Amino acid sequence: MERPRLLLIDDEPALATFVASAAQECGYEAAIGTDQGDFRHRYVERRPDVVALDLGMPGMDGVELLRFLSGESFGGPVLIISGFDRRVLDSAFRLGEALGLKMVGPLEKPTRLEALEGILKEVRPTVLR
């Protein structure tokens, strides 16, 4: 059986690796985009089933990525993982929903492994082909 694909974008290598390995433990194939261009390239090259993104990245913001995903009619779960305060996370979450995205989370940094794995396991059955 094919593993669902998770694409994540985060500029902190340690956190990106942490999320990717948690995703692999939960049965996903994980890919990491290091910046907006890399993320878009990977997205188009191998359309993911789940996207995890950081809102605060140098030279871009998560809102642009939410608009990109909406423009691509992405139908899978979108998980926000960010160090911004809760109000910012909640408004980004609501914006994603308003754009027609299937938002899950959000998770605040530092992210606890149990919380991350809980969400990944919860959405996995909805993305299996």
* Domain ranges (residues) in the chain: 5-123
Please name the residues in contact with 81: beta carbons below 8 A apart, sequence gap of 6 or more: 10, 15, 19, 52, 53, 54, 105, 106, 107, 108, 109, 111, 116
Query: What is the pLDDT at residue 125?
Result: 85
Report the distance separating Cα 65 and Cα 9, nearest Å: 10
Average pLDDT over residues 44-61: 88
pLDDT (0 to 100) of residue 129: 61
Neighbours of 23 (CB within 10 A): 26
Residue 119 has pLDDT above 90, yes or no: yes
| Pairing of the two strands 60-61 and 56-57 | antiparallel
**In this predicted model, what pLDDT tens digit does every residue of 55-105 receive, in sequence order?**
877 777 788 899 999 999 999 999 999 888 899 999 999 999 999 999 999
Mean pLDDT of the chain, nearest integer: 92
Cross-strand partners of 60: 57
pLDDT, mean of residues 109-122: 94
Question: 5-123 — its CATH code?
Answer: 3.40.50.2300
Q: Is the distance from CB of 11 to CB of 102 less than 8 angstroms? A: no
Is the overall model pTM greater than 0.85, yes or no? yes
pLDDT at position 58, please? 72
